[in-house]
Amino acid sequence: MTIGTDAPRRTRIQQEKRELILEAALEVFSTNGFRGSTIDQIAEAAGMSKPNLLYYFRRKEDIHETLMQRLLDTWLAPLRELDDIGDPLTELRSYIRRKLEMARDFPRESRLFANEILQGAPRIMPLLAGELKTLVDEKAAVIKGWMRAGKIAKTDPWHLIFSIWATTQHYADFDVQVRAVLGPNRGGDGRFEDAARFLEQLFLDGLKPKG
Amino acid sequence: MTIGTDAPRRTRIQQEKRELILEAALEVFSTNGFRGSTIDQIAEAAGMSKPNLLYYFRRKEDIHETLMQRLLDTWLAPLRELDDIGDPLTELRSYIRRKLEMARDFPRESRLFANEILQGAPRIMPLLAGELKTLVDEKAAVIKGWMRAGKIAKTDPWHLIFSIWATTQHYADFDVQVRAVLGPNRGGDGRFEDAARFLEQLFLDGLKPKG
DNA sequence: CTAACGTTTGTCCAATCGGTCAAAAATTTG
DNA sequence: CAAATTTTTGACCGATTGGACAAACGTTAG
């Protein structure tokens, strides 16, 4: 019997092996991109033969698709948590902090996503224009409410969200460059705390000198 | 005769054809990544046969390498222009504006660079840790001078540069996502002006309400 | 014209790719 | 135990890949 992506009934071995494959595929896809990765690479990283891997996922695309589906859920969780209750500036600050923590703790997921978008999002375009746009529009409305109430400065909520995504994910997607530029002294583990401090100041106060 | 990458003597035809190939390769590489692109694709985009293309560039890597070398020069030009003369806030604002204009006018170059970094910068790592780090350190020192003089708020100059890179290049690298989220109404040509307005406000004043 | 040189192409090749298949091995079930 | 089922593997396939090569073609200088 072969295991389709929509077959819900799975044995213990199937669950374990599928997890093993997805973990290996995340590693391989995120560093080589979809077309740059081979089934052999993933199979080797998962410690099994290629036909064995293809017994659990019939096609290379199925692995990638499963990975992307899981990714989007966890990836958008921080934005979903952005809520109307609580102080607006505090809410935004903790959203930025959470996104930065995700860049630190799940850089492979970030790179996998970046790879997909960079190449025109051929496989998740409907999700972007659908689920993602809906969520962002909804949160933009919340932010707009804060602006109208005078709780935060008036600007464009959509571009505000973009800038938070860009600045935080930068530390995952461009990690190699960040570490190279910071050098051996400052490029160590402390770089995320430095980034958190900087981003907090940037988003709250900007660059104008006080007074 | 075959044309090596370090052969300085070139006929008129060689110059023209090499330009044609590089232009085609920029298009193909930036949308498919290095491994995702084939010599055939580039040759077809350049309007010539594969062996003909290989007459001008012996290997696929040579095309990519030439492209990356040229890229870095033009890509870092805006940062090189950041100068100590003139008002600091004005200097930074025009740096942001120039970078955003590059994201708008040269998105393929931005994506080519992003692709390379995403995959660990295997081909330009020495440049990052060398030339790039030197330049950034130098400009960070200039910015630090402004901070000491009280001209701009005190923060981390390196992370400031990172955040400018991240926010501006986002509009080239994640363009598909930006347009999908903004939708057909706001995702048109005006999005770069909206971004410019937002980024100026963000970097100057932050999000705290005035008063 | 002709010889030399630069350019283009058709053909070919070995390696790698995603994926199939039947049969062996391991596991579960009765 | 034995039968049924699930898992694993080696061998194989057609398509695509980067690249080699010699022959044909075009151009130019003497």
Domain with residue A45: its CATH number is: 1.10.10.60
CB-based contact A180 B133, cutoff 8 Å? yes
- Considering the domain boundaries, does residue A31 fall inside one? yes
Mean pLDDT, chain A, whole residue set? 92
Domain-located, residue A24? yes
Q: Which of A119, A169, A199 sits opposite B31 (nearest CB)?
A: A119
Cβ contacts of B58 within 8 Å, gap of 6 or more: B2, B3, B4, B5
> How far is CA A199 from its chain centroid?
18
- Is residue A79 domain-shared with residue A26, that is, in the same domain? no
- Chain A positions in Cβ-Cβ contact with residue B198 (cut-off 8 Å): 155-156, 159-160, 163
What would the two tokens of residue A190 be? 């402390």
Burial of B121: CB neighbours in 10 Å, binned 0-12, 13-18, 19+? buried
B166 and A167 in contact by Cβ < 8 A? yes
* B108 is a domain residue: yes
Run of H or E residues at B40: helix B39-46
- Tell me whether residue B82 is in a domain: yes
Question: What ipTM is given for this predicted complex?
Answer: 0.91
List, in sequence order, the alpha helices (H) in A33-132.
39-46, 50-56, 60-81, 88-105, 107-118, 125-127
If you average pLDDT over residues B120-137, what whole number do you get? 94
User: Positive or negative, the Cα torsion across B139, B98, B131, B133?
Assistant: positive
Does residue B1 lie within any of the structural domains?
no
CA of A39 to C1' of C3 (A): 55
Chain B residue closest in CA terms to A205: B206
Q: Which residues of A29-57 are buried (b: 16+ CB within 10 A; e: fewer)?
A: bbbbbbbbbebebbbebbebeeeebbebb
Q: Is residue B35 part of a domain?
A: yes
Same domain? A29 vs A130? no
Q: Over the stretch A91-118, which tens digit does the pLDDT of each residue have?
A: 999 999 999 999 999 999 999 999 999 9
pLDDT at B3 over 90: no
pLDDT tens, B5-53? 344 557 777 788 999 999 999 999 999 999 999 999 999 999 999 999 9
**C-alpha dist (Å) from residue B45 to B21, B61, B110, B114:** 8, 17, 20, 22
Subunit contact A180:B207, Cβ cutoff 8 A = no
| Number of folded domains that form chain A | 2
Nucleotides of strand D lying closer than 7 angstroms to a protein CB: 5-11, 16-22
Q: What residues make up the domain containing A54?
A: 12-58
Residues B160/A206, Cβ–Cβ less than 8 Å: no
